Every structure is written in structure tokens, then in C-alpha cells.
Amino acid sequence: MVLQNRQDILIESRRSHLSVRFRSGADLERNSTCNRDEGKRSARKQDGSHGRGTPAFRQEDSFLWCRQSISRAKLCRRIQCRTNDFLGRGTAHTDLGKCYIEQFMSAPNSIFVRACKAVPGERTPVWFMRQAGRYMAEYRAVRKQHSLLEICKNPALAAAVTISAAEALGVDAAIIFADLLLPLEVMELPFHFGAGEGPVIEKPVRTKEDISHLRTDRASELGYVCEAVRLVTKHFGDRLPVIGFCGAPFTLASYMIEGGGSRNYVHTKKMMYNSAADWNELMRKLVSVVAEYAAEQVRAGADVIQIFDSWVGCLSVDDYRRYVLAPVTDLVKRLQRSGAPIIYFGTDSATLLPAMKETGAEVIGLDWRIPLDEGWRSLEFRGAVQGNLDPVLLFAGWKELKSRAQEILRRAGGRPGHIFNLGHGILPETPVENVKNLARFVQEHSQKPPDD
């Protein structure tokens, strides 16, 4: 079934079960009311004078009730804000960040958010990249009925997948279910997922003319992701923080230019080396769209934003500094105006870590190729780090897996600011019980003794 823009959906999200059922509009109208009006907006919402494009939502027992009657371009416009100032398009207000974090972040005092700020906590927080994925039977059941993009574009489905995974694993943060390449569509660069091939860009960006055709004025059409964030934060409240995310300019550009994944990134580097003006314009456009997109996720309730620079490890330190550092720093600075901490993660990036820290991101993600303490030392132990178990170790026996996790915690040395994670995403065939046991082990083994 292909999901439409206007539907009545009942989602049941439980620790061990995920199902999606459709109800009549009359039933949902009778059983569901909007509990997110937050005071003064309630009267306006009842008479339809405000929030016409926003869905009614209620949490009841283990159910998420979602009345979707939405215009995608208006999904996240439920709270008025000085967006232009926030995104750096006008004169910034000194109190905007404070106002922003108080009104939007769902769990700013959680151990995860405190760790992002390198504030001491009672234990090490743990979550996993790609923690909602094909290794889970519940997710595979949803994928039998819906494509990846259908799930991403339906807020209720994306929220249910996000919630189900976080609750099943017992982790300390939920990362919203979405895809890295969604911003490409609103830039008018279509893509699809080939069978077993990953994403395929239908018309790669290779020339100045190609770049000139990319739009930067349609980021609001990604509001379905923000709405999924809002549903998840409504479900968890302050019990569990929510992570929003976006792709880094270089990684998104590499997909756009190469037409998909690549081994050597020849076309990307050719543009960097031979057409600096074109490269800079592409970076500018990507930062503009992605900053607005990720900022809206914070407005919807996300506590932290992770920037994925998945392919940045293909660059030398010199090339990173010359072609990538400035645009990603611009992106980080824009997003930090929200008050939400930023995690900046790249793979195969051991040589780049000091330069990546120059972006100002509060947290630097480490992959498994460098010992955690060495990676943190290369940053002079400034700020927080996230990582860094090899995802393939989740296929090992429990004795080996436990030993490796314990070694990472030992290398962290109890310093404030360590977030336990993998060095990349969970792989499709990973045993679910190993993931659950790992999360529980980290939480129990990293517990700090109470102060006397």
C-alpha cells in the first residue's frame, strides 16, 4: 500500500512488537485529540485559526494516535520563531539560543545530552547508529509493505520504527529514522534505490550548469522528517532524548557528483581540484539547505544533531582543510545557534580528527580504526567523543564482545564526555540479542559509584 498525504493511522509501538493498522476517520476523530497545543495555542487550534496544517496527536497507553491531515510544507510551523535570524540570515539575537533550547529540546538534562557537553554523569550513555534496521524482525516486517522512502516520508511510520528500536534495545537515545539523501529531492536532484545497489542519482551533478539548477528554497518540504521527530518526542517526553541528523556537505556532494557510492571519488575530486568556484557554489547550496533542514528538526524537539560525513575519510588532511573544513564549520556554527549540541562523525578519519575538531562540534565520532584514547588524545581531550566498537564484533561470542566493550570503557577512563557507540552502523545480519546485551552491559559496567 502506498501511503498518501492524508490518512488516519493507528500505530502500536511496544518493546517487542510493531504493527500499523488503519482506522476510519470517524473513529480517530472520536478517540484522538491534540495535546500539543501548549497553552494559548489551544483555543486557536480548536476553531481552526491556527495549525490547520498540523496533525492531531495523542499518546494513549502504548499507542501513538496520529491524525495526518497535513501540508508537507507546513508540518513544522507550529511555533512561531525568528527563523531567518536563527539561520544567520539577519541580525542574531543574543537570547535566541536560550529561548530555543528551552522551548524545543525534549530532554536537555538527559545523561546523553550532558555527555555531549562533556558534563559528568552517573554512567556512560549508549546508543547505536542504524539501531532501527534490517537486523530487527519488526523492521523487516514493515519493509515488506513499504519501501525505505515510503517509511521516511510517512511521519507516523518513521516515528514507530524509531520508537520500537529504541525501546527494544533499551538505549539512552533514539535517532530519528530518515535517509541521508532526502535533501537532494528538494534540491530537484531525483534519486532512487536500486536493488542491492544502494542509492542511484538519476542525473549526476558534473557541471556549472548542473549546479545552477539546484534549488535552495524548498527545504520546508522535508517537514515530514520534522513531524516524525515531533511524534517521537511526544512519545518519550523527557524520558529519552531524540537525535536528528543530516549529511555533511562533502558526503552529500560526493553522492551527487559520483551518482552513487564510489571507491575513488574521481569525479568529486576533479571538481574540487579543477573547478574551485563550482565546488564552492555547490558547498554553499548544500549548507543552506541542510542547515535549514536540521534546524527544523531541533525546532520539532530533537536534542542533538549528528552530522554524518561518511565518505570524508577518502581525503588527505590538506584536501580536507582546503575544500571541506570551511563549509562544514559554517554548517556546525549555524546549527549551534539552536542550542543543541552537534556530533560530527566520519569514517576512516583518524588522520582528520584534529581538523574535524576545528569545526567546533561538541562531539567527534570515532570509528573503530583508532583506539578511543588515542583518538581523544589527538583532540587534546577537548570536548566529547563517541564510539567506537567495530560493528562486526557484534557477531562475536559474548565473551569476546564483552571484553572489547570493556576495553573501550577502560580507554575512556571515566572522563566526562564519552558516548558509547559503534564505529559505524549496525549491519543487517547482526544478532539482536548481542545488541541488547551490549547496551545493558555498558549501562551497568560504566555506572559511577555515588558520592560520599
Q: Which pLDDT band holds residue 82 (cuts at 50, 70, 90)?
A: very low
Cell matching residue 325: 573544513
Measured over the CA atoms of residue 273, residue 276, residue 280 and residue 282, the dihedral's sign is: negative
Helix H or strand E segment including 56: strand 56-60
Residue 97 domain flag: no
Q: What's phi and psi for 417, nearest 5 deg?
A: 110, 15
Give residue 305's pLDDT. Answer: 98
Which residues of 260-417 form beta strands (DSSP E)? Answer: 304-309, 342-346, 363-365, 384-389
Statement to judge: residues 125 and 55 lie in one domain: no
Question: Which pLDDT score is estimated for 197?
Answer: 67
- Please tell me the predicted confidence (pLDDT) of residue 320: 98
Q: Looking at the structure, do residues 358 and 420 belong to the same domain, yes or no?
A: yes
Average pLDDT on 211-239 reads 97
Predicted pLDDT at 105: 80
What's the chain's average pLDDT? Answer: 82
Q: Greatest CA span in the chain, whole angstroms? A: 67
Task: List the beta bridge partners of residue 20.
Answer: 11
- Closest among 86, 74, 29, 3 to 298, alpha carbons compared: 86
pLDDT in tens, 261-289: 898 999 999 999 999 999 999 999 999 99
153 by Cβ neighbours in 10 Å (0-12 / 13-18 / 19+) ranks as: buried
Which of 37, 66, 81 represents a domain boundary (last residue)?
A: 81
pLDDT of residue 80 exceeding 90, the answer is no
Q: Tell me if 248 sits within 8 A of 311, measured CB to CB.
A: no
Do 305 and 400 lie in a common domain? Answer: yes
Whether 1 is in a domain gets the answer no
37-46, 131-140, 232-241, 363-372: least confident range: 37-46
136 shares a domain with 61:
no
254-288 burial by CB neighbour count: b if 16+ within 10 A, else e? Answer: bbbbbbbebeebebbbebbeebeebbeebbebbbb
pLDDT over threshold 60, residue 54: no
Domain assignment of residue 52, given as a range: 6-81
Alpha helix positions (H), 182-324: 182-186, 208-212, 223-236, 249-258, 266-274, 276-299, 317-319
What's the CATH code of the domain at 341? 3.20.20.210
Complete DSSP assignment for 72-135? GGGTTTTS---HHHHTTSSPPPTTHHHHHHHHH-S-TTSHHHHHHTT---SS--B--TT-SSTT
Q: How confident is the model at residue 233 (pLDDT cuts 50, 70, 90)?
A: very high
**Domain termination site, one of 60, 81, 102:** 81
- Both 61 and 131 in a single domain? no
The predicted model gives 30-43 an average pLDDT of 34
Q: Does a structural domain hold residue 52?
A: yes
Task: Please give the tally of structural domains in the chain.
Answer: 2
Tell me: do 282 and 350 sit in the same domain.
Answer: yes
What is the three-class DSSP state of 32?
coil
The predicted pLDDT at position 194 comes to 72
Q: Are strands 342-346 and 198-201 parallel, antiparallel or unpaired?
A: unpaired
Query: What is the C-alpha separation between 342 and 425, in angstroms, rounded?
Result: 18
Whether 77 and 212 share a structural domain: no
What is the per-residue pLDDT across 200-214, written as a single tens digit (0 to 9) for each?
A: 998 999 999 999 999
Asked which of 26-35, 115-124, 333-342, 345-354 is least confident by mean pLDDT, the reply is 26-35
* Selected residue with higher pLDDT from 319 and 62: 319
Residue 72 lies in a domain: yes
Listed range (16-20, 227-231, 308-312, 420-424) with the worst mean pLDDT: 16-20
Please report whether residue 89 resides in a domain. Answer: no
Residues 76 and 115 in one domain: no
For residue 190, name the pLDDT band (cuts at 50, 70, 90). very high
Cα 433 from Cα 427, distance rounded (Å): 14
Residue 103 lies in a domain: no
Both 119 and 53 in one domain: the answer is no
**Same domain, yes or no, for 276 and 391?**
yes
Give, to the nearest 10 degrees, the angle between helix 137-145 and helix 155-169: 170
* pLDDT of 24 higher than 50: no
Q: What pTM was computed for the model?
A: 0.79
Q: Give a yes or no: residue 90 inside a domain.
A: no
Residue 55 lies in a domain: yes
Written as one letter, the residue type at 81 is C
Q: For position 193, what pLDDT does the model report?
A: 87
* Statement: residue 438 has pLDDT above 60: yes
**Residue 244 clears pLDDT 80, i.e. is over it:** yes
pLDDT for residue 5 is more than 80 = no
Q: Is the peptide bond before 35 cis (omega within 30 degrees of 0)?
A: no
pLDDT tens, position by position, 333-378: 999 999 999 999 999 999 999 999 999 999 999 999 999 999 999 9
Write down which residue in 81, 99, 129 finishes a domain. Answer: 81
Does residue 173 sit in the same domain as residue 60? no
Please count the other Cβ atoms lying within 10 Å of the Cβ belonging to residue 94: 6
Per-residue pLDDT band for 196 (boundaries 50, 70, 90) equals low
If asked whether residues 132 and 249 sit together in one domain, one would say yes
Q: How far is residue 179's CA from residue 308's CA, in Å, rounded to a whole number?
A: 11
How does residue 446 score in pLDDT terms, banded at 50, 70 and 90?
very high
Write down the pLDDT at residue 60: 32
